[in-house]
Amino acid sequence: MRLPPYRLVVLCVLYFVQGLPFGFQATALPVYLRAQGASLAALGFVGVLALPWGLKALWAPWVDRFHSPRWGRRRSWVLPMQAGLTLTCAVAALFVTDGALRPLLVLVLVMNFFAATQDIAVDGFAVDHLRPEELGLGNAIQVVGYKLGMLTGGGLLVWASRYIGWPGLFLSMSALCLLALGVTLSFRETSSSRPRDVADSAPDEPALTWPMMRERLGAVLRVPGIGWLLLFIATYKLGETMADVLYKPFLLDSGIPDWRIGQWVGTWGNVASILGSVAGGLLATRMPVLGALGLTAALRVFPLVGRWWLATHGVTDASVIGVTLCEELVGGALTTVMFAFMMSRVDRRIGATHYTLLASLEVWGKAPAAPLAGWLADPVHGLGLGYAFVFLLGAVLSVAFLALLVPIARQQPPTPAPLAPTG
């Protein structure tokens, strides 16, 4: 059964808005700071501004625990976060005009806090409202919406800044957040907005208390095979990320101009990634989620081996384009299917908290990949093993990940837990 169209639109809009500030920070902010005279060393710390995304699990229980019955369990958090995003983007337009860097950086940090907190509630909203057969489609919406937001905040609006200036960029972001706020206000979150089989599962369940929250979190961590599950989620992108970190420098060192890398990887690659996300969502609706995960993880190995082949046999335009588009397509599909799998293992009663814990584990699990890859390849400050070795290691680790499918397949998926009423 299809997800009702309006709920689909709401999810897409919410994830789109969350991608705006991160896209600006990851792509546009370094350009702006460099133009303002910031040093390369200072640019290396820009990633700290995304810290709320890595730490959001710390306050996820509050998002699950507290809400207004009038506004709904998830809208109680989404609405103020969207209002905060709208306001901070508008205020940032004032500081970017004056060239005040420190206040601007603080505002970007606050934007990421609002977006990350909204993400907790929106993920909870998805857990609340998606049936098992809708997880593929719902998570395709999640990934595609977020990537489109990143492309808008870090790409389209940066291009438009040539005409509207940096203040116009932030005002445009503010207007988009305000539009999303209107969409959220138009959607009334009640038990009737859930699928019938979910809404009727626990009509009289009491609101969460802290003891109930602690008991359910403890029960989640005591599930048989939880160690395999956590390892599975934490390592699924490790080898791929090691190869990703060095891929653009490798192309540059191979004599490919930076503008062409931006075209092939930044533009065509992002389009392929979005198409892959859609394909992954469709795949997860037509076969068991774990089967779709195994298929996309196996296919992911081939473009990673292709990167090793480029490093050992030389690059041509056709080979680089082929390997790049294949990797982005399969990588996008794998990400969507993994998120659908994670959502299928969530206790709905603490959906926002449980899913946020798994999503944070996914983020931190691949965090060591970048410094490890650089240390292995760097001839001056590391072991000097080169690009080819790291690309091959990334492929080997991705093959090794497939072995984890065996203990995961032996586990029984949790029975969907009843939901607490949302007002």
For the chain, what are the domain ranges?
5-199, 210-410
Q: Residues in the chain, how many?
A: 423
Helix axes 351-365 and 226-235, enclosed angle (nearest 10): 50
On the question of pLDDT at 418 being above 50, the answer is: no
**CATH number, domain 210-410:** 1.20.1250.20
**What integer pLDDT is reported at residue 36 of this predicted model?**
73
**What integer pLDDT is reported at residue 128 of this predicted model?**
81
**What integer pLDDT is reported at residue 268 of this predicted model?**
85
Dihedral pair phi/psi, residue 403, rounded to 5°: -65, -25
- Do 5-199 and 210-410 have matching folds? yes
Contact 315, 254 (CB under 8 A): yes
CATH topology of domain 5-199: Growth Hormone; Chain: A; (1.20.1250)
Comparing CA positions, the residue from 208, 206, 241 lying closest to residue 352 is: 208
On the question of pLDDT at 416 being above 50, the answer is: no
**What integer pLDDT is reported at residue 111 of this predicted model?**
94
Most confident of 8-12, 198-202, 381-385, 397-401: 397-401
Supply the pTM of this predicted model.
0.76
Lowest mean pLDDT among 330-339, 386-395, 414-423: 414-423
User: In degrees to the nearest 10, what's the CA dihedral of 241, 359, 149, 154?
Assistant: -40
Residue 146's Cβ-count burial label (10 Å; 0-12, 13-18, 19+) is: buried
Dihedral pair phi/psi, residue 232, rounded to 5°: -60, -50
On the question of pLDDT at 192 being above 70, the answer is: no
For range 341-370, the mean pLDDT:
85
d(CA 346, CA 353): 9
For range 72-88, the mean pLDDT:
93
Q: In Å, how far from its chain's centre is CA 205?
A: 32
Strand, helix or coil for residue 356: helix
Tell me, letter by letter, the H, E, C secondary structure of 218-274: HHHHCCCCHHHHHHHHHHCCHHHHHHHHHHHHHHHHCCCCHHHHHHHHHHHHHHHHH
d(CA 402, CA 300): 11
For range 48-71, the mean pLDDT:
86
Comparing CA positions, the residue from 291, 259, 271, 326 lying closest to residue 409 is: 291
d(CA 82, CA 63): 15
**Average pLDDT of the chain?**
83
Lowest mean pLDDT among 192-201, 269-278, 296-305: 192-201
Dihedral pair phi/psi, residue 68, rounded to 5°: -100, 125
**What integer pLDDT is reported at residue 17 of this predicted model?**
93
d(CA 200, CA 221): 27
For range 191-201, the mean pLDDT:
46
For range 111-123, the mean pLDDT:
92
